[in-house]
Structure formats: C-alpha cells, structure tokens
Structure 1
Amino acid sequence: MDEIINFAWGFIGGWVLGIFFFGGLWWTVNKAIAAKKPGFWFIGSFLVRTSITVFGFYYLSQGSWQTVLFGILGFLIARHLILHSTKPSEEKQIQLKKKPSKHEAQS
C-alpha cells in the first residue's frame, strides 16, 4: 500500500514540476518577445526552471526508480496539457493564413 501512495505522490509531483517547467517556458517566451535583451530572459529562465525541476525529481525519487517513472509520466502529461492550453485557436490560425504578404498586396 505504501508503494501505491509513493507512486501517486511521484505522479503528482512530476505533474506539478511539468506545469512549472512548461508553464514557465510559455511565460518566458511571452516576456522575452517584448524585452530589450531576450537572451537574459531565456538563459535565466532555463537555469531556474531546470535547476528546480532536477532538484524536484531528485527529491521525488527517494531512491526508487519506479517513483521517478511515475513522476516522468506526470511531467509528460503536464507538457501535453500546457501545449494544448496554449495552442492558438483555429480561428486565429485561419486569420494568420489569410493575411496577404506585402508582395501579394502589391500585385
């Protein structure tokens, strides 16, 4: 029974780390677009996100590779959720495709 609880905590911890990592990446990209020095945003964010995520997985593992596997599963599911929730809607994609380029507008 204790193993099941550890696996559940591993999954939940991996999910939280995934939300933090990929949500932080999305936030960084949005902030860096308008920044004067976007390289600092990307490097700083990468270092912070990676450090916290690696430490989090180390803490979650508790010496059990099975718990790490459940954590990775939660991490990947969080990645999928972040990608799905931040994807532009079809309406926005259609508007981007219909917008003529400068060359087409001059013809």
Structure 2
Amino acid sequence: MNDLLTWLLAWVAGAALGTIFYGGLWWTVRKLVASGQPALWVFGSLLLRMAIALTGMYFVAGGHWQRLLLCLLGFAMARLAVTRLTREPAPPRSESPEEAAHAPQSR
C-alpha cells in the first residue's frame, strides 16, 4: 500500500510540474505580443520552466525509475489538460442550408 501511495504522489507531482511548465509557456506566449524584447522573455521563461521541471523530477524520482516514469506520465497528461483549458473558443457556426451542403447542387 505504501508503494501505491508513493506512485500516486509521483504522478500528482508530475501533473503539477507539467501544469507549471505548460501554463508558464502559455503565459509567456501571451506576454510576447506586448513585449519589447520577446527573445529575452522566451529564453528567460525557458530557463526558469526547465529548471523547475527538471529539479522537481529529480527530487520526485529519488533514484527510482518507476517514480520517474509516473512523474513523466503526469507531466504529459498536464500538457493535454493545459492545452484543452487554454484553447480559444471556436466561433459559432450558422446552420443555413447552403452552408450545410457538402457539395454544390447542380441544376
């Protein structure tokens, strides 16, 4: 039971690290639009996000490959979650008969 709890915590820690990493990436990209020095933002953000993610994974793994694997799984799942949550909403589509047809009608 103790191993199961440890593995669950490793997965949760990976999800938290992934959320920080990919959430930080999303925030950085949004800041680039108004920034006067975009290269500095990109490079600084990359260094900070990588340092947090790699240091966190090092401590979570603690020399056990199983914990590292579960941490990476949580990290990858966080990418999917952040991508889905930060997606721009699609514009509403109108369903008029001309637009709904898949091919033009010949007369």
Same fold by TM-score, threshold 0.5 exceeded?
yes
Partner amino acid for 1:69?
Answer: L
Rounded Cα–Cα distance in structure 2 between residues aligned with 1:25 and 1:56: 17
Q: Which runs of 5+ in 2 are unaligned?
A: 94-107
Match of 1:105 in 2: none
When the two chains are superposed, the root-mean-square deviation of aligned CA atoms in Å is 1.2
Match of 2:99 in 1: none
Rounded Cα–Cα distance in structure 1 between residues aligned with 2:90 and 2:66: 39
Give the alignment's TM-score, normalised by structure 2: 0.83
Aligned positions of 1:9-28 closer than 5 A = 9-28=9-28
Match of 1:59 in 2: 59
In our comparison, the structure showing a higher alpha carbon Rg is 2
User: Offset of 1:82 from its aligned partner?
Assistant: 0.4
How many residue pairs match? The answer is 93
**Residue 85 in structure 1 maps to residue 88 in structure 2:** no
Give the alignment's TM-score, normalised by structure 1: 0.83
Match of 2:44 in 1: 44
Identity of aligned residues (%): 35
Q: Deviations over 1:83-103 (max 9, x none)?
A: 0011111118x7xxxxxxxxx
Rounded Cα–Cα distance in structure 1 between residues aligned with 2:64 and 2:21: 22
Matched residue SS, 1:90: coil
User: Offset of 1:62 from its aligned partner?
Assistant: 1.1
Match of 1:68 in 2: 68
User: Offset of 1:66 from its aligned partner?
Assistant: 0.5
